[in-house]
Copies of this chain bind each other. A is one copy, B any other.
Amino acid sequence: MNTGHHEASWRLPESDPHAHVDLGHHVRLARIAERGTFDSLFLADGPQLWNSVGQRPSGALEPLTLLTALATATEHIGLIATASTSYNSPYNLARRFASLDIVSGGRAGWNIVTTAGREAARNFGLDEEPAHAERYARAAEFVEVSRKLWDSWEDDAVVADKEAGVWGDERRIHPPRHRGTYFGVEGALNVPRGPQGHPLLVQAGSSEDGKAFAARYAEAVFTAQQTLADAQAFYADLKSRTAAAGRDPDHVKVLPGIVPVLGSTEAEAREAERVLEEHIVHRHAVERLESLLQLAPGTLELDAPLPAGLPTEDAVEGAKSRYTLVVELARRERLTVRQLIGRLGGGRGHFTLAGTPEQVADTIETWFTRGAADGFNIMPAVLPSGLDAFVDHVVPILRARGLFRTEYGPRRTLRERYGLPRPANQYTAALV
């Protein structure tokens, strides 16, 4: 959504319909975010072309490629790329994240996804996506192997003794010799350990499997939450699961997505929201909703509510938590299909906040101070203007209230910004 997180944003006069494949556009966004002293940029992704070419900008530059290009155009901001554990090999992917971490001076993050949907599966020789639980089992092994690879060089493995002709100390190189259920990885990585040791590990699924995975591995969790109460419950649940998994709950940061639509008055913000909704092509949006809800085409009617008797999340093999969020949103607010599409069009399930900068800052403060969030994934409805507006008008309020940094300061790596430790090397530790 590189003209913005609202699906119709590309149709506005200000938007460039080719922005999503324009490096210059992304450089502009990254520099605005650095002006706002944001922690990081986040790129969602999946290895398939969604069936939306007719409707809106489709496809995307491969995220690690784009973030590598942005690494050279920025100095401070973290670079978080989504990559799939179902359709990559650990050796290649671990190396790519280690390389980005080195090239960016320790700013790499990996949003770990298992990739729902048969479209992706069929691009990799499978007929159907693997079952949800199996995708998560593979993801867990993928992360374990990746951590072995990132640790396969101790930090001081390179001695660089020119006189003696000895470059590295082979005793400090540790081949994983991994033979598991899904992967066999024998040798050490072919790139030294990066500035962060491991890239920041991020996760975004909120299903049961997803939360269990996050409790074990994630250092930051992106989540879609529509109400303060839901966000608080999710936050408390995830922190307690993380503690139960034997980890410090402060070492998983909970980051709900919010979609700000700003105006100098509330009425102006509502009008901007209305203009965006007007640009939604409902025929496409209905098809997409039917696909998400696993309904036959033609089931939904625009001015009726969702049909009764939809299956529960347990019966869904795709994007479980998104499914539940949409069904519950419609039920809780008694929305028609048209109204539901309006709500989803803005943030695809994320919390849309239309209002003045003060109002948006108030909500952020409330969520932040009342146990609903450690931070936020800011997803402006329209880009770059929505990001500019947020940085120019909301960030100063948050800074004035002492809620947000005024400059980057001496912390250099993404982990340091998130207040996370640099991981100990599992092999070095074993020798002590």
A123 sits at the interface (CB 8 A):
yes
Which of chain B's residues have a CB closer than 8 A to the CB of A189? 49, 59
Q: Cα distance A95–B100 when bound, in Å? A: 18
Our pick among B48, B53, B64, B167 for the contact of A17 (Cβ within 8 Å) is: B167
Q: Cα distance A12–B100 when bound, in Å? A: 29
Our pick among B46, B87, B192 for the contact of A21 (Cβ within 8 Å) is: B192
Chain B residue at minimum C-beta to C-beta distance from A183: B125
* CB neighbors of B among A71-106 (8 A): 71-73, 87-89, 91-92, 95-96, 99-100, 102-103
Among A156-164, A237-245, A259-267, the stretch that binds chain B is A156-164
Chain A 103-120: CB-based contact to B (< 8 A → 1; otherwise 0): 100000000000000010
Q: Cα distance A53–B21 when bound, in Å? A: 40
Our pick among B53, B123, B168 for the contact of A168 (Cβ within 8 Å) is: B53
Give min CB distance, A237 to chain B, whole Å.
Answer: 34
Q: Cα distance A87–B281 when bound, in Å? A: 42
Contact yes or no, A89 B91, CB < 8 A:
no
User: How big is chain A's contact interface, by range?
Assistant: 35 or more
Chain B residue at minimum C-beta to C-beta distance from A49: B190
Contact yes or no, A53 B96, CB < 8 A:
no
A344 sits at the interface (CB 8 A):
no
A307 sits at the interface (CB 8 A):
no
* CB neighbors of B among A144-200 (8 A): 153, 157-158, 160, 162, 165-170, 173, 183-192
Q: Cα distance A8–B18 when bound, in Å? A: 48
Given A17-B162, A47-B91, A173-B53, A61 and B186 contact (CB-CB distance below 8 Å): no
Contact yes or no, A23 B103, CB < 8 A:
yes
Q: Cα distance A188–B50 when bound, in Å? A: 9
Chain B residue at minimum C-beta to C-beta distance from A84: B92
Chain A 37-64: CB-based contact to B (< 8 A → 1; otherwise 0): 0000000001111100111111111101
Which of chain B's residues have a CB closer than 8 A to the CB of A21? 102, 191-192
Q: Cα distance A327–B168 when bound, in Å? A: 30
Contact yes or no, B64 A65, CB < 8 A:
yes
Chain A 1-26: CB-based contact to B (< 8 A → 1; otherwise 0): 00000001011110101100101000
Contact yes or no, A59 B191, CB < 8 A:
yes
Q: Cα distance A13–B163 when bound, in Å? A: 10
A338 sits at the interface (CB 8 A):
no
Given contacts A49-B173, A61-B191, A89-B124, 20 further A-B contacts (CB under 8 A): A10-B160, A11-B162, A11-B165, A12-B162, A13-B162, A17-B160, A49-B189, A53-B169, A55-B165, A58-B168, A60-B190, A62-B92, A62-B96, A66-B103, A68-B68, A69-B103, A119-B187, A124-B185, A125-B185, A165-B281
Can you give 11 contacting A-B residue pairs, CB < 8 Å? Answer: A18-B160, A21-B102, A21-B191, A55-B167, A58-B190, A68-B68, A69-B103, A91-B123, A124-B185, A125-B183, A125-B184
